[in-house]
Amino acid sequence: MKVLLVANSPNEAALEALLEAKLWLEERGLETETASSDDLVLGSVVYDDLVARIHSFELVCAFGGDGTLLRAARVVAGTKVPLLGFNYGNVGFLAGATSGVLAEALTAVLAGEVVLEQRVMLEATITYEDGSQATCSALNEVFVGRSNLGCNIIIDLSINNDHLFELRGDGAIVATATGSTAYALAAGGPLLTPGHRGLCVVPLSPHPFATPSIVTAPNDVTELVICPQSDQTAIAYVDGQQFNSGESAIASLAVKRADEGLTLVRYNTPDFYARLAALFDGAHHA
């Protein structure tokens, strides 16, 4: 068995946990490989190499916060390789194990005594004004919005080729159920149970303010077309990372549920609704 260990290297506690896991696994005859989440950026040499070899691993462990897990998720996207996150960050909503239970969690994984959660990922195809295209996947969300903070961007929103309305504001988020508790939630979007197979579309600072969020069905395709009259170039972020693959400006995005999802490992963390209760109860008391 070969295990990929990814850590947020600037986080000393996360890096120490990675080294502890490496020693624990190798003492039991397992092969390991390590990587820094700083190197797992789209298009980097390390990222491309790991994506090409990811089928040689049987488990990926991420040590850090949700950002570290999101970067590791892009590497395993479209495979059956399970991903276990150990929370050494500030939020850790996606982590499957808490800090301080490393040996216990790894023992449970090797014994098959963990919960495997199947999460939907999204696929976004970005078309540029010169006609070129780029495709990316995300566990949480894709955001498209204004690059100039001084004025609105105008986006035509369609679902399954049916034009719905024109969005005026900061932009829009298309999120998975997993991502509904992240940026989309902060923007006022709906909470979706992890079992929901569709996506949600959340306008950002829309004008008029009554522009609704939309929960889509599993096979829906959402298209966001940048209107030339907005006098504004668009910028795209994928799970918090700016996506720059085209030489010209972004013309449109087509977003749908990816054909393959992600397997998250959960060891000793509460289920979705228990986490929500803790999140909102904590916010209430804060």
Distance CA 65, CA 55 (A): 24
Helices (H) then strands (E): counts for the chain: 6, 19
**Contact present, 200 and 35 (Cβ < 8 Å):** no
Cα(158)–Cα(47) distance, integer angstroms: 33
**In terms of DSSP bridges, do strands 250-257 and 241-242 run parallel, antiparallel, or are they unpaired?**
unpaired
Q: How far apart are CA 236 and CA 240, in angstroms?
A: 9
Helix (H) or strand (E) holding 103: helix 102-111
Catalytic residue (choose from 66, 162, 259, 281): 66
The CA-CA-CA angle for residues 253, 256, 262, to 5°, reads 125
Q: How many CA atoms lie within 13 A of 271 on its CB side?
A: 7
Peptide bond into 208 cis (omega under 30): yes
Residue showing tokens 């995300």: 138
Task: Specify whether 66 is catalytic.
Answer: yes
Whether the Cβ atoms of residue 265 and residue 155 lie closer than 8 Å to each other: no
What is the SS3 assignment for 81? coil
Read off the DSSP letter of residue 179.
Answer: G
**Residue entry with tokens 């068995």:** 1
Cis peptide before 194 (omega within 30 of 0): no
Instruction: Enumerate the active-site residues.
Output: 66
